[in-house]
A and B are shown apart, each in its own frame.
Chain A
Amino acid sequence: MDTKTYQENILFMLKHPGVLPDEADVYLKELKDSVELEVTRDISIWWRTVQIEKYCVLTSNYLKKKQCFDEEVRQFYLQTNVSPYIEVMAMQFYDYLLITTTDNLLHSLAAFEKYLIKIKRGEVIEYEVQWQYEPYAILDMLLQNKDLKPEPFTGNYTTFMASYLEDHFEVIPQDELL
């Protein structure tokens, strides 16, 4: 293999655990299930984990309470050309979750946190996120590190988010919108 093929194969194997690239030689065959490749992949995922948990606080806390944070970051890493810049990586992580998740609370939360950041950065002026739970109760559980028990707080709500609002958002029960 020349350098081009070698580096492309290493990238492929980092992103596709347990899969060999076409025309793999002995080196790549031995590397496939090696601890060295696994550690390399784990380190690069670990760095993303450290950055994401610091930046995407609400979403990370939620995923940790659901005990799927590490796995979500791993899948995100495997499926995405992850930017080294946290400002970009965070948006990529929210987008990954918004596309892949079937958990409607996670969907609302990721969209809420994503656009809250965008509004604070001045990239977006107004945005609305729909919830099937009362947002303040959920945010309280996450920010105060309480047990995650959203069931008693079901209902239809909208968070209206805007750069000109004091807290950058307000919660509107759906009844009030009708």
Chain B
Amino acid sequence: MPKPILSYTYDKNDTTLLELVQRHVGAVETTADTISFMMNNKATLNEEIVAQLNALSSTHKILSHGVGLSIGSYSGYSEAYLALMDELYQEVPLYWHSEHLGYTTVDGENINVMLPVNRNDECLAMICKRVEQIQKRYPIPFLLENIAHLLPDYNCIYSEAEFLNAIVRNTGCGLILDVYNIACDVHNFGFNMDDFLAKLNLDAVKEIHLANGSIYKDKMMDIHSRAVSEDVLQKTKEIIPSLKNLEFVTYELMPEAIPSMGYVAIEQELIRIKNTLEL
């Protein structure tokens, strides 16, 4: 089994950071929504970042990881996101692309936060149909990520693992396992991580996400602002041997957190993750 490759989020035009991190990672993960800006009522990718990703693609894998698809909105996913994804797909050689299993808009109105879908047959059919449409549109693998739950479950007949397994079974898509998001669910809702992992189709997991946030009103928040906690890192180390199709481990850090964390700490964090997980 080849070793998984360390990857890092690259969403900000920062060549100093890019030069620094590319020595430690074999892939970068970019978010089409974040590297784009609105001009004349149309979202457009930042040309400089696209050029940097293109140059990097000769030595590193480029992964796309969206936030604005809103695959779980009952009224339909975001065509604006797909237009950006079309552009990114045309401009940059992508290894695969992924999104979150959630919704960020309702009737076209932004809720400005990611919320989970209700795990029932209505949503299962809706999600699977959309995954298949996306798979037809882009002939590269598509992955879905488990998100941190902010609200209590409603009208769920499937467990988290059963729901993800059913999507994988029906569509053949892959999964991103965000270990920090699970840790948030454990902290916020008493979610049982071991039970989830025991029931999840681990063969579908092709990527792991690592991140850290902060506690607010006693809730652990999925913010991507800090070094990974020792708990999450050790849990990840424990899980990795059972993920036989795992290809990437991505350290997620939002662009807004780069100045406060600093280049040195980011580099040290990448080295720490790489050494601990033997990537």
Contacts and interface: CB of A to CB of B under 8 A. Distances in A.
A120 B36 CA distance: 18
Contact of A10 (B33, B126, B151): B151
Given A35-B217, A39-B217, A7 B68 contact: no
A119 interface: no
B115 interface: yes
A87 B39 contact: yes
A1 B73 contact: no
Contact of A38 (B43, B155, B217): B217
B123 interface: yes
Contact of B109 (A11, A37, A40): A11
Given A8-B106, A11-B107, A36 B152 contact: yes
Contacts of B217: 35, 38-39, 42
Given A7-B103, A35-B217, A38-B217, A83 B110 contact: yes
B96 interface: no
Contact of A6 (B126, B152, B154): B154
A140 B110 CA distance: 36
A141 B104 CA distance: 39
A84 B150 contact: no
Nearest to B188: A36
A37 B151 CA distance: 7
Chain B's interface size range is 35 or more
A50 B112 CA distance: 13
Given A35-B217, A88-B38, A3 B150 contact: no
A84 B111 CA distance: 9
A171 interface: no
Contact of B219 (A6, A27, A36): A36
A102 B109 CA distance: 28
A3 B122 CA distance: 8
B10 to A, nearest CB: 19
Contacts of A23: none
Contacts of B68: 84
A77 B74 CA distance: 22
A7 B221 contact: no
Q: Which of B68, B73, B112, B217 has the most CB of A within 10 A?
A: B112
B262 to A, nearest CB: 18
A72 B115 CA distance: 24
Interface string B35-61: 011110001000000000000000000
A175 interface: no
20 contacts: A1-B154, A1-B155, A2-B74, A3-B118, A6-B118, A7-B73, A11-B106, A35-B217, A35-B218, A36-B152, A36-B188, A38-B217, A39-B221, A40-B151, A47-B113, A81-B109, A84-B68, A84-B104, A85-B38, A85-B43
Given A3-B123, A35-B219, A43-B113, 5 more contacts: A31-B151, A77-B112, A85-B36, A85-B37, A121-B39
- Nearest 8 Cβ contacts at the A-B interface: A44-B113, A44-B112, A85-B38, A11-B106, A87-B38, A40-B150, A3-B74, A4-B74
